[in-house]
Chains A and B, each alone.
Chain A
Amino acid sequence: DAKTTQPPSMDCAEGRAANLPCNHSTISGNEYVYWYRQIHSQGPQYIIHGLKNNETNEMASLIITEDRKSSTLILPHATLRDTAVYYCIVRPSGYGGATNKLIFGTGTLLAVQP
């Protein structure tokens, strides 16, 4: 079962920041928070991941609370092409084999409005 809870849908105006919350209150000390997104009828795309520090890359920023029980994905300037389902996933650290499997929850459908 997925270990995360996300709102089913959100709207965002084009050009504005999109803030997508995720609750992972049962996260373990060795588990990372990963974010993927899936544009309609495509395979998921990696966005960002983190353990406890905030992270930023060319796509987004990830803010993880100090107790690690929740996080927020921030798309700083949303565009119409960012309309997708966004999945927050927790996964153990380690490398190789079944450790890498991802269990998807229901995600958040972000609709960017013109």
Chain B
Amino acid sequence: GAVVSQHPSWVICKSGTSVKIECRSLDFQATTMFWYRQFPKQSLMLMATSNEGSKATYEQGVEKDKFLINHASLTLSTLTVTSAHPEDSSFYICSANPTAPNRGRRFNEQFFGPGTRLTVL
């Protein structure tokens, strides 16, 4: 099946530093990728839609200047948490849709990465 990877799988950083998380579609192209955040014992919350070659679309209440998204190619989107603070500690998950259905993939299926655990001290 299609694979989406994230790097790093976990990261610990000091308060005030910036952290970049990468999301890659390994065997398909994705014009659109999505970033989610999940706090312990809670559901996934959609943060933003990442669009290749254009600005990301942020959900209401998500600070675009704090969570910088770059989608520079059809296989890579990055999320940078700027000036991270302990309350930003969370599980960050990306997902991607194939640009076009091919190789027998299901229509509209969305593939998720394994997630990145961010801990801000």
A residues within 8 A CB of B49?
A: 97-98, 101
A: residues with CB less than 8 A from B are: 32, 38, 41-46, 49, 85, 87, 91, 93-98, 100-107
15 contacts between A and B (CB under 8 A): A41-B91, A43-B112, A43-B113, A44-B95, A46-B111, A94-B108, A95-B107, A96-B31, A97-B31, A98-B32, A102-B34, A102-B46, A104-B45, A104-B46, A105-B43
- CB-CB under 8 A for A97 and B51, given A44-B112, A87-B43: yes
Interface of A is mostly: loop
Q: Which of A44, A85, A94, A103 has the most CB of B within 10 A?
A: A44
A residues within 8 A CB of B21?
A: none
- CB-CB under 8 A for A96 and B115, given A43-B95, A105-B43: no
CB pair A103 B46 closer than 8 Å: yes
CB distance from B89 to the nearest CB of A (A): 14
CB pair A104 B44 closer than 8 Å: yes
B residues within 8 A CB of A91?
A: 108
Asked whether any CB of chain A lies closer than 8 Å to the CB of B103, the reply is no
CB distance from A103 to the nearest CB of B (A): 6
Report how far A46 CA is from B112 CA in the complex, Å.
Answer: 9
A residues within 8 A CB of B97?
A: 96, 100
CB distance from A39 to the nearest CB of B (A): 11
Q: Which of A32, A46, A49, A91 has the most CB of B within 10 A?
A: A46
**Given contact pairs A41-B91, A45-B112, a sample of 5 additional A-B residue pairs in the complex whose CB atoms are under 8 Å apart:** A38-B44, A49-B108, A87-B43, A98-B49, A100-B108
Report how far A21 CA is from B112 CA in the complex, Å.
Answer: 24
Residue of B44, B57, B106, B111 touching A98 (CB-CB under 8 A): B57
Report how far A100 CA is from B33 CA in the complex, Å.
Answer: 9
A residues within 8 A CB of B51?
A: 97
Residue of A42, A93, A94, A100 touching B115 (CB-CB under 8 A): A42
Asked whether any CB of chain A lies closer than 8 Å to the CB of B93, the reply is yes
B residues within 8 A CB of A45?
A: 112
CB pair B115 A102 closer than 8 Å: no
CB pair A41 B43 closer than 8 Å: no
